[in-house]
Chains A and B, each alone.
Chain A
Amino acid sequence: QVQLQESGPGLVKPSQTLSLTCTVSDGAISSGSDYWDWIRQPAGEGLEWIGRIHSSGTTNYNPSFKSRVTISVDTSNSLFSLKLSSVTAADTAVYYCANLELATLIPWGQGTLVTVSS
């Protein structure tokens, strides 16, 4: 089964850029034609979709983040990445990577907590 694993700094200073990577096992990004998603969840709150990238590089972003977010893909290393700029305390959350259109086949990553604090 394909597995996803998030990685990146757990602490980011306000106004800086949050950077996370999602590694996809078994080279699934390069072997398929799929979209790969980032979702976040502030503590005690609901889920918020940030955006997605196709293995070809095409992106869709949530307009709520559009001016601050960049999602990229590296098919040769089977990973995709999230950058969120100008972060504030409101961006403190657990960040998940997933493949929402193939959720019946691919479970979400376990999630990684990112805290924005000086």
Chain B
Amino acid sequence: DIQMTQSPSSLSASVGDRVTITCRASQSINRYLYWYQQKPGEAPKLLIYDASRLPSWVPSRFSGGGSETEFTLTINSLQAEDLAVYHCQQNYRTPWTFGQGTKVEIK
């Protein structure tokens, strides 16, 4: 199985800050990486696909980067509504695997 490791596991930042979350794969997954946002009490919602592509409903302050084994999710100018847990997931090979999640809190 491909192991996905996220860091940090949690962070606290102020509104307006730039936040970066890292996701590392145990082997190369090309750019077959999703990022999900999960707000409290809700199902995960797709945030980024193919490592850096944004669905139409995602604000442009979110961006993704990376390839092979190292990926990043960046939130430019953090907003209060970005309070959530962020998950990465590889869709290179089954079994699909997820990172353990990064909880983003607002100071």
Name A residues whose Cβ lies closer than 8 Å to a Cβ of B: 37, 45-49, 51-52, 60-64, 96, 100-101, 103-104, 107-111
Contact residues of B with A, CB < 8 Å? Answer: 1, 34, 36, 42-46, 49, 55, 87, 89, 91, 94-101
Closest A residue to B94 using CB positions: A60
C-alpha spacing A81/B100, complex, angstroms: 26
A104 touches B46 (CB 8 A): yes
A107 with B87: CB separation less than 8 A = no
User: Is the Cβ of B49 less than 8 Å from the Cβ of A107?
Assistant: no
6 of the cross-chain contacts (CB-CB < 8 Å) are: A47-B87, A47-B98, A49-B95, A60-B94, A100-B89, A104-B46
A64 to B1, CA, bound (A): 10
Q: Please report the C-alpha to C-alpha distance between residue A31 and residue B96 in the assembled complex, in whole angstroms.
A: 25
Contact indicator B34/A103 (Cβ below 8 Å): yes
Beyond the given A46-B101, A103-B49, could you list 17 further A-B residue pairs with CB under 8 A, ordered by the A residue number? A45-B100, A46-B100, A48-B98, A49-B94, A49-B95, A49-B98, A60-B95, A100-B34, A100-B91, A100-B96, A103-B34, A103-B46, A104-B46, A104-B49, A107-B45, A108-B43, A111-B43
Min CB distance A33 to B, Å, is 17
Q: Which of A46, A63, A96 makes the CB contact (< 8 A) with B95? A: A63
Say whether B55 contacts A104, CB under 8 Å: yes
Taking a contact as CB atoms under 8 Å apart, the answer to whether B97 and A49 are in contact is yes
Q: Separation in Å of the A52 CB from the closest CB of chain B?
A: 8
| A13 smallest CB distance to B (angstroms) | 26
Q: Which 6 pairs show the lowest CB-CB distances between chains A and B?
A: A62-B95, A47-B98, A108-B43, A49-B96, A46-B100, A103-B46
- Smallest Cβ distance from B23 to chain A, in angstroms? 12
* Complex CA distance for A60 and B36, rounded to whole angstroms: 22
The answer for the CA separation of A63 and B55 in the assembled complex, in Å, is 31
